[in-house]
Amino acid sequence: MEIVLATNNEHKLKEVEEICKNLDVKFILPPKEFNPEENGISFEENSYIKAKAANILTHKYTLADDSGLCVKALNGAPGLYSNRFAGTQQEKIDKILKLLEDKDDRSAKFVCVMTLLDKEGNVKFVAKGECKGSIVKTQKGVNGFGYDPVFLPEGKTLTMAELSEDEKNEISHRRNALNQVIDFLKTLDK
């Protein structure tokens, strides 16, 4: 089975491929003209917008995710705007750390919503995964991307950016959502 992963992020493609390595599925990126406007008001809406845009271009099974960091002391921000919260990755991290300087509650979670569409563009499955944790005071680690250097997963002593890819893929929000999608894909007739 071939599924278009509705993203331009090759790191995300590699992460999904690694998690799904034992599944008989080939993931491909959408055409270069894939550039949907993420104007939804929820992770679910943005995930659907991306899946639909890729599906219109390819007429293939399409999987999209929308994900972000939700910080309790910031009323869930940056949330939907995690990718647009500041300019560079470092500026995003600096902004989060600055906003939390005087906060005692540093609890946070990564959220991922995935939407799977069939070849005709019908929603076949929606999954939501979370990874709970907190924001550390000083960034650590160089693995991963986004907010990984400041996110300490529950029960861990290392930030996401200090974990190996395998360790991260075992607990990530994307993994939690993707596990549900994998279980669903196993029920489909190829």
User: Measuring CA to CA, how many Å separate 154 from each of 50, 80, 117, 158, 159?
Assistant: 30, 22, 32, 10, 10
Strands (E), 38-169: 62-71, 107-117, 123-135, 151-153
Domain ranges of the chain: 2-185
pLDDT(190) > 60:
no
Helices (H), 70-143: 89-99
Active site residues: 66
* Residue 95 structure tokens: 């902004």
DSSP of 22-64, one letter per residue?
Answer: TSS-EEEPPPTT-------SSHHHHHHHHHHHHHHHH-S-EEE
- Find the mean pLDDT for residues 159-175: 91
Kindly report the pTM of this predicted structure: 0.91
Write the CATH number of the domain with boundaries 2-185: 3.90.950.10
At 166, the pLDDT band (50, 70, 90 cuts) reads confident
pLDDT digits (tens, 9 = 90+) for 69-122: 999 999 999 999 998 999 999 999 999 999 999 999 999 999 999 999 999 999
What pLDDT is stored for residue 100 in this prediction? Answer: 97
pLDDT(135) > 80:
yes
What pLDDT is stored for residue 117 in this prediction? Answer: 97
Nearest to 141 by CA among 162, 165, 170, 155: 162
> Which residues does residue 114 pair with via DSSP β-bridges, in sequence order?
65, 127
Other Cβ atoms within 10 Å of 81 Cβ, number: 12
Q: Residue length, the chain?
A: 190
pLDDT(189) > 80:
no
Please report, rounded to a whole number, the percentage of residues in the chain having pLDDT higher than 70: 99
User: Tokens 């902004």, residue?
Assistant: 95
